[in-house]
Every structure is written in C-alpha cells, then in structure tokens.
Structure 1
C-alpha cells in the first residue's frame, strides 16, 4: 500500500457561530460553485430541504436538528404549554418538506422529545438542552459514518472496482459518508479502488456531487451514464456496488434514489455483491415492507428542462418523476450500519441490530 493520505471533507451542515442559523453548502450549485447559505427562518430551512440544497438522509437530519433549535430560539411563549404548541407546529412544518427520508422525522422527533421530557420547565431552561441534543445528533453522525466506513471497507480489497449510484459521501452526511464512506477511508489508508459513478438522472447527484467529491479527494473515479452500468459490470470492471439509503423497512427493502433498484437487478444478474450502507436511524422497524414507504413525487421540470438551456422534451408530454425507488431485499447482499453488517434474513439481523445497545 502507498503512503497514508489525509482527506479534506467538505462540511455540508453546521450551526452558525452566533447559533441563530444553519449554514449549509448549496448542493444545487455544485460542482461549478461552492456556495454557503445561511438559513434562519422556517421557510428558508423548509425550502433548502425540499429543493435539495441540503440532501442526503443524514445531512437532512443534522440540518433539521440545528434548524428546529434555531426556530425554538425565536419562539415567544408565556409558559411551557404555549412553547410546546409552537415548537410542535414548527416541527410538523419542517417534517412536511420531504416525506421519504426517515432521518428528517427521526431528528425532529428526537428534538421534540427533549421538550416533552422537560414539561414544566421554562423555555429558557429548555433551549440549552435542545442545543446539546442537536450537537449530539451531528457528533453521533460523524462517529456512525466512520464506523459504517470501517465495516464497508472490510468487504473490499485493493484494486477492486466499485459502482456507486447517487451521492452518499461527506456532502450527504457529516464525514466520510455512508455509501461512499469506504472509498474515502480506503484512500486515506493507501488502498487503490477504481470507482464507476452513475450520473444519477434526473438531478445528476452522481455527476455533480459524487464525481466532485471523489476527484477532489484524488480517488480514481470514472463517470458513466446510468444506462452504462450493465456494460461495466459485464466487462468485469465491478467487484461490488455500494449505495446509501433513505429508509430501510423491517424486512430489508430499501428506499434510495431512483435507479438504485435497476443497479441491484443488474448486480444480481452478474453475481456482483450489492451493499447498502446507512446509519440505524434510517431503519424504520414500524415499516414492515417497502410497499409501505411513501415515495416522493418531484417536479416534472426536473426531467424536461433542469440543466438544459432549452426544454429537452415536447411541451405537454406526460411525466412521471419519483425521487426514489424501492430495492427488494432479495437483491441485497448486506446492509451495513454503524453497528455491523446485516446479512439475510434481514427480518432477523435488522431486528437484532436495533435491539443492540438499547
């Protein structure tokens, strides 16, 4: 192995120095422009999540935690009851921004739990507890991503070819990432991996974000169109597929960026391991199967005209633009979390992980 390399990670989400706003990287401006946004109002935070200025399940959770803390500081209430009511209204508003990524509701419910657990206290006494909780959510994500990356890297060997879909690196999380976390950790440890990054239509997260992050870190990455995945697999260039996840059902069905299930089908056909990486906060044990996952429908113009100078489809044509699809558990080799590697049957291994450490 070559000399160890320290990777510089872009900090995608943080609390402002005055603790009154959330600072995010505007991911819609990458790769051409690295710009930061300061979000202080409920509308700004909602729009940033909904419009994918901040995206990636863990990053959304971190942003929501910081965001609801900043909004809580703006609440004017005479007593605890009024504070809780206004807090709950803000929480439900932010939660409506994106329905599929479970980390959004998970982080917001966790923050609201701090409020309800301190019934009778004044808002002034609760605010420091909310700050501690949102900071804890961020620090825990850093530790989780590091652990996920370690477990994922244990499944790879020097010289492997890895295929990715969408973006699940530091921009989508806090450090290293989930689906791409092992790639950054491998680079730090001197391992050479050859990465093929799906462009990920229609929002091009693979082209704009994954290729940006990996190339910036000096990782060997080749960008391909989504419909080229089968060719590179057939050529024998791919030894594993690694993707992130937005929600995992109790049976192991996984909701992730649209096109993920197609990659899984191809990998199954070519006998290539298909790994899903994500924190246990994305596991929804109340959701029995993927059929229960609500799939977000996006603006049709994302297909027709986004990233084009002129519309690239006929005016008036019908559109279908789901943000996610569900990969059946039968196509998944393993689900990797910060607690370890889950193998089929996922109903057993996921349940065991969710009970571990509780």
Structure 2
C-alpha cells in the first residue's frame, strides 16, 4: 500500500502529496503543530487521512508534552485540539477524530491510578487503532461497492479518493480496485481537478502504480465523454455528508453529478461512517473552505492571471442528494431516502 502516513518514534511521517507524481518524498512532522501545518498545506489531504493525521498529531503532542500533572496535560491537550480544529473546516472526519481523542483522554484521566505515561501510551494506541480501522473500512467499502461498477467500460472519478486520501486502499478508488480484483475490465477517466490537480497528479499516479488503465481529462471534457457513451458510472469520495444525503466533495463534483444525471449515468459516493454528519441537516449548512488565491493565479511559481483580477477558490462544493444514486459505506450501500437510511446506519453503528 502507498504509505500515506505512518507513526514513528520520531514523529508522524507523511508522503508529500504536493510533490507527487514526479517526486516521492516524505515529510517528518516532529510536533503536533507540524502535523497541523501538514494538514493545512495539503501535504496530506483527503477526509479520512486528515482525521487520522489529526489523531496522530494529538497523540504526538501528548507524547512530547513536559506537563508534570494530568491536569496540566489536560490544559495543553485542549490547546492541541483547538490547533487541529482550525486547520481545514470542511472535512468532518477531522472533528470526528478530535472528539474521539478527547473522549479517550477524558475517560483515561478519570481512571483511578492512571499515570501520565499510561495516558500517553493509550492515546498513541487509539490513534493507531483509528489508522487500522480506516484501512479495514476502505476494504469493506470496496467489497460492498465493487459490483455496482460496470463489468467493463469507463468509470469517471473526480479528485483523489484513493489510498492517498486515506490510510490505505481508498474509498472511491478502493471500490474501483475491488472491482478490478473481481475481474471487471475498467478504464478509469480521472478529471484533472483544477486548481490543485489532485486527479491529474495523484489519482493517475496511484492507478498507474496499480496497473489500472487510466486517462486524465480536463474538467470540462466530462460532458463530451458522457455523450459519447464512454462513461458507465461515476464514483467519488466525500468530505462531509449531511443528514439529508447532500454531499460535500472537491470543487467540480456538483457539475459532474448534474452531467451524470442528464446522461442517465449512476453517480456513486464512497465514504466511511466518520464522514457522515447527522448534526448538519443540509448541504447548505456545511462550511466550505476558501483556499489561497495563489492556487488559481499561479502554477509552478508562474503567474497566469492579470494583476488585481478577482479570484474565488472554494475547495469544495455541495452535490444535492437527488443526484446521488447510492452511498457506499463500510457497512453497506445506502439509497434514497437518505434521511432514513443514514439515520438507520448511524443508529446501527452506535448500537454495535
């Protein structure tokens, strides 16, 4: 598997996704603030990977803390959580991971006889458990969703929802991988995904690494390929799924979903339970991150736009639930009405 992130004795190691596909380099985050910076600068990205990265960052912060008492460590931990929460606002997995680490810390701190070293060890174990759970969830999504994809033909994806966006295997690309493993003859069409080019740089790199036939297309070419009958299904990941089934994903996803509906092509979303946010009723309530304007105005250090021109650079858009054919999770496939199927899934997960 592609080593998206890894816990080490020195800190958390990340493959630097800003340098792919031509340079495979790694960044060592030696402090929790380094991990927060890695998330903000998109050295690591993808909702599941962001969540586990934050958990590992918090574990790293506790490990390296010099606090002499549990109370002092608790105060420091609250600051660490605030730093992580202020990295990227859209991916709900980030807040899910922070809340899980907070709950673990609180439970440990209340345990009679617990020591500082005991808290440190337990938080590291919790972060590593989340890492393992993410890989297992991606494998399960692949198993559930593989046969939704055509036995042969083209599958379109947008952005990167693969191993690089998770701890391994991937969500949307995990479903594609599982389909190929079952013998499906799939050719992947990867939108380049402007302006950060996750499709062109990352999805193409991953799939070529696995020997899966892949073609990169400019974002404005999808409609033409659909009209020609080259696309049999669309599958994407998600950064947050609202209670009504509205899906926040990389900017451009909404347009692809509308095109798929017009051309009667199924549009699938693959995401783990941690991406579902029942506390957010509708997609309009999802906070959308605005990225730096230089991602649009410049490429490879060269300015492409006139000085002073207006720029918008939202990192995500929201696809209304009516365009989503099915949501693939590690627990199975959900269909309309999503208000009911998402609530049932969450209740079943909570009840074991």
| TM-score tier (shorter) | over 0.9
Counterpart for residue 267 of structure 2: 274
Does residue 1:333 correspond to 2:325, yes or no?
yes
Secondary structure at the residue paired with 2:327? strand
Kindly indicate whether the alpha-carbon contact (under 8 Å) linking 1:56 and 1:167 is maintained by their aligned counterparts in 2.
Answer: yes
1:57-88 deviations in whole A, cap 9, x for unaligned?
11111111111111101122232221111011
Post-superposition shift, 1:336? 0.8
Distance 2:272 2:312 in 1: 30
Q: State the Cα deviation string for residues 294-320 of structure 1 (Å, max 9, x = none).
A: 00001001001033x521110100100
125-134 or 242-251, larger mean C-alpha shift: 125-134
Where does residue 320 of structure 1 map in the other structure?
312
Q: Quick one: which of 147, 159, 177 aligns to 2:140?
A: 147
Deviation at 1:160, TM superposition (A): 2.8
Mapped to 2, the partners of 1:119 and 1:213 lie a distance apart of 42
Offset of residue 281 of structure 1: 0.2
Distance across 2 between alignment mates of 1:255 and 1:357:
22
Paired residues of 2:4 and 2:168 also in contact (CA < 8 A): no
When structure 1 is superposed on structure 2, of 178-187 and 327-336 the one drifting more is 178-187
- In the alignment, is the contact (CA less than 8 A) between 1:13 and 1:25 conserved in 2? yes
Match of 2:278 among 285, 293, 305: 285
Match of 2:303 in 1: 311
Unaligned ranges ≥5, structure 2: none
Corresponding residue for 2:89? 99
For the 8 Å contact 2:240–2:249, the answer to whether it is kept is yes
What pairs up with 1:1-358 in 2 under 5 angstroms? 9-16=1-8, 18=9, 20-120=10-110, 121-307=114-300, 309-358=301-350
Q: Which moved more, 1:34-43 or 1:333-342?
A: 34-43
Q: TM-score, normalised by structure 2?
A: 0.96
Question: Over aligned residue pairs, what C-alpha RMSD do you find?
Answer: 1.1
Q: How many pairs align?
A: 347
Deviation at 1:162, TM superposition (A): 0.4
Q: Displacement, 1:152?
A: 1.5
Could you tell me which runs of 5 or more consecutive residues in structure 1 were left unpaired when the two chains were aligned.
1-8
Write the distance in 2 (CA, Å) between the matches of 1:109 and 1:316.
41
CA distance in 2, matches of 1:91, 1:119: 16
Q: Which is worse superposed, 189-198 or 319-328?
A: 189-198
d(CA) in 1 for partners of 2:302 and 2:5?
A: 33
Residues of 1 paired with 2:302 and 2:239: CA distance?
A: 32
